[in-house]
Structure 1
């Protein structure tokens, strides 16, 4: 698997090094993605967090910052940071991803609206290590939740 990833990365890099100069010469510089389009409006609904104050529905607007989100500026800053790193903050866990079998609780969140000119409809949970990490990456857009305790098990 690792060998295939390395070979794929090398082939992609080789393809980009051949096509990018031609693209620049033919049509000018490559477009730079926008960090904020001014039309970023999201609705964040959280439930079963274990904190009645965190179970709510908020609106979040970025560029300019607004809405009813309790930490709107920090949430917009985090989304901008993730976009600046080339990450899609709303992407689901990839199919086939190996994840720890750790349960982070019953909390769920749904984010809908538009971000950087595209529609968003993302669901977040805490059912395994990948989902917990995905949730934590989205704080403070999503509320900070405590780590669920690891329960001991008995061997027979």
Structure 2
């Protein structure tokens, strides 16, 4: 049996995830103590990174997913640099069961965006006069589970 164009029916219903667009929504880099902060440091700076994922339904089967990354490097009480990046993508998702849609949006979509966000941050830090900051890979499954547990404890819907 075919669907009229020679393809079996199951081929028509195959899940699809398409990236329609990717873009920087917001980027901020601060080097508040330059040029003093550019001098050789006595010790490795403490670097703190926060990562969050948000999503909005734009249209039927289309979602905007935003990967937010904030970071700060400090040496003692001195801020060497800080940054904020909101990097987003628009994704078309079709033929995915409803129970799998939320995890797909919150895990796989940011996983596709992350390498681009990582490069933007590395370049911004380098352009600020520091060695490029190469973010470690992110466990988006673990991040998703943490967020779901936190929401369950707070009694919030996902």
TM-score (norm 2): 0.24
TM-score (norm 1): 0.24
